[in-house]
Structure 1
Amino acid sequence: MGLSWQQGPLSTGAIGHFLTPEPLPERLLFAERLRRRMRVKFNDTFIADSENVVLLHEPGRYPVAYLPREDIDAQALVAREKVTHHKDLGDTAWYAVHAGDRTTERAAWEFTALPGYAADLQGRIAFAWRAMDAFYEEDERILGHAADPYHRIDIRNTSRALEVRLGDTVIAHSEHPVVLYESGFAPRWYVPRADIDESRLHPVEGQTFCPYKGLCDYYDIGEAHRAAWSYRNAYRAVDKINDLVSFEADKVQGYLDGARLHVKPGQNVIPHGVDRGLDVEEVKAH
């Protein structure tokens, strides 16, 4: 989630509210210095290298990094006549990005008529994440989207009883599940495979990617499509859920200490595809 994505405090679906005497605007944008060196690679060439990055948090979007023009290879940006209008930040000029024998259209943009309150973004360029080959902080590749300093994950062991059923069939029963709390999402309950009837789990093709947990595999259960998932090679930071299985509460029936689990509106995770040129081994090593 983070500051402005999913149900964060600056998102349009925030689960909390600011305690202020006057209502806040429906849309609040937040800009801050990233305070990290960022590099951008395109066609095997680093076309940008900056220690002066501004991160923009905009409702309903992942954070976006804006780099000063002077830290970008001038030959990499090809101006186009395409101009759009941002509802908060004004006219937006678009660029093709070029390096070597490759050019990608509408791969970068700049706000050219910023209101005074948004001067922090003046003279800065943003690159479309999936149009680039990779983004780096120092020498480490950043996966999925710009790193969000407000995203948090806590994982706790518990002795509560969790049972998962599909109709009258018990799929899993555990007296020691693990619960994962992730900013803005419903708690996710992970079950050791020893507590699952794995004959009911049918692997399906297609993985998604979480910048904080790694590659995710999915399972059908009977007619319930992608009703369970597992991070079979979870990142070290979340290794307590490594190879455990979690279940989608709106596709199968989960009971915690006998009480039915439900996912509230807006708390379902919106999954990522896998970044361009990213292979499984690189994710595992991250």
Structure 2
Amino acid sequence: MGLSWQQGPLAAGAIGHFLTPEPLPERLLFAEPLRRRMRVRFGGEWIADSEDVVLLHEPGRYPVAYFPRADVDARALVPSGKVTRHKDLGDTSWFAVSAGGRTTERAAWEFTALPGHATELQGRIAFAWRAMDAFYEEDERLLGHAADNYHRIDIRGASRTLEVRRGDTVIARSEHPVVLYESGFAPRWYVPRADIDASALTPVEGQTFCPYKGLCDYYDVGEARRAAWSYRDAYREVDRIGDLVSFEPDQVEVFLDGRRLYLEPGQKVVPHGVDRGLDAAEVHAR
């Protein structure tokens, strides 16, 4: 998912490699101007508001936004006296965040002994995503994490034959599936419900959340647990897969033009936890 997460180019599980004569460092961090207005809300109050945010991409992490101190309400930051050491960026001083009658410990941090090659993070504050009430770009709430400029989704219609089987039973067969290409992942194939034996899908409790697609529902297929899923109310940016169903090729047999598909290395999705105070109604409102 993007530059440094899952199989992105800066992630530990990257599927590609840089064409350089010498090996790169084991870890590469990338910082860049966000060039979007971002705001942070906590305790019912705005505690940060900036058009000068720097986004840090760190291997194995979602992008993290760093705000200039001048754009952060100084009253909201309470030094905790706690200092840890980041393996790449040095000493890290921690703050409690206090506003609106509420205080949360270790909810913000600042790098205070940066190496010379990382001075763009000097004097900047980052906030723990789930500790805050919400993050916004302009007047719209961001869900999940700061937007990754390198995460992309493309959806294409196809005239190929996709068949899903469980043993000798055909669960689905479509001659017009839809394929979703997402940064860092192998293609995912989606099938219209009209091409699926609905009796083979058993809805299960529990949803996951994708910051780019919305809430995901799951289904058992026979004894195969959570072998299928659907974004029933997909975000408008990806509404072409709305209410379509995709199947896990390691749980059931999935064939594309007669060729069986298998789960590719690194393909397994790491579910994203929900944000503080986020409910299904707000996700659907997107």
Q: Normalising to structure 1: TM-score of the pair?
A: 0.98
Q: Name the residue aligned to 2:69.
A: 69
Which residue number corresponds to residue 229 of structure 2?
229
Question: 2:200 maps to what in 1?
Answer: 200
Residue pairs, 1:129-148, within 5 angstroms: 129-148=129-148
The residue aligned with 1:18 is 18
Deviation at 1:273, TM superposition (A): 2.1
Match of 2:214 in 1: 214
How much has 1:193 moved relative to structure 2?
Answer: 0.4
TM-score, normalising length: structure 2: 0.98
Matched AA of 1:257: D
Determine the C-alpha separation between the residues in 2 that align with 1:274 and 1:12: 24
Q: How many Å apart are 1:100 and its aligned residue?
A: 2.1
**Offset at 1:36?**
0.7
Deviations 1:100-154, CA, capped at 9 Å, x for gaps? 2211111111111100000000011110101111000111111110000100001
| 1:219–1:225 Cα contact (<8 Å) kept | yes
1:276 is aligned to 2:280: no
**Structure 1 stretch 190-199 or stretch 160-169: which is displaced more?**
160-169
Q: What is the CA distance between 1:279 and its match in structure 2?
A: 2.3
Give the secondary structure class of the aligned counterpart of 1:55.
strand
SS of match in other structure, 2:130: helix
Percent of aligned positions that are identical: 81
CA RMSD of aligned residues (A): 0.9
Question: Matches of residues 86-105 of structure 1 in structure 2 within 5 Å?
Answer: 86-105=86-105
| Dislocated runs of 4+, deviation >4 Å | none
Q: Secondary structure at the match of 1:238?
A: helix
- Checking the alignment, whether the CA contact within 8 Å between 1:163 and 1:170 is kept in structure 2 is yes
The C-alpha deviation readout for 1:161-205, integer Å capped at 9, x for no partner, is 111112222111111110000011011000000111111111111
**Preserved contact between residue 186 and residue 268 of structure 1 (Cα < 8 Å):** no
Cα deviation digits, residues 27-60 of structure 1 (max 9, x gap): 1000000011110001111111111100000011
Q: State the match for 1:125 in structure 2.
A: 125
Number of residue equivalences: 286
One-letter amino acid of the structure 1 residue matched with residue 153 of structure 2: I
Note if 1:186 corresponds to 2:186.
yes
Whole-Å separation in 2 of the counterparts to 1:242 and 1:214: 10
Q: Which residue in 2 is equivalent to 1:176?
A: 176
Structure 2: distance between partners of 1:206 and 1:224 = 16
CA distance in structure 2 between the aligned counterparts of 1:140 and 1:101, rounded to whole angstroms: 25
Output the CA distance in 2 between the equivalents of 1:218 and 1:273.
16
> Aligned residue for 1:252?
252
Residue type at the aligned position of 2:250: D
Paired position in structure 2 for 1:5: 5
**SS of residue matched to 2:52:** coil
Is the contact made by 2:42 and 2:100 (CA closer than 8 Å) also made in structure 1? no
Letter in 2 for 1:140: E
Measured after TM superposition, the shift of residue 12 of structure 1 is 1.3
Q: Return the alpha-carbon distance in structure 1 between the equivalents of residues 277 and 197 of structure 2.
A: 36
Tell me, what secondary structure is at the counterpart of 2:117?
A: helix
CA–CA distance in structure 1, aligned partners of residues 263 and 27 of structure 2: 25
One-letter amino acid of the counterpart of residue 39, structure 2: R
- Structure 2 unaligned regions, length at least 5: none
C-alpha separation between the residues in 1 aligned to 2:223 and 2:131?
Answer: 37
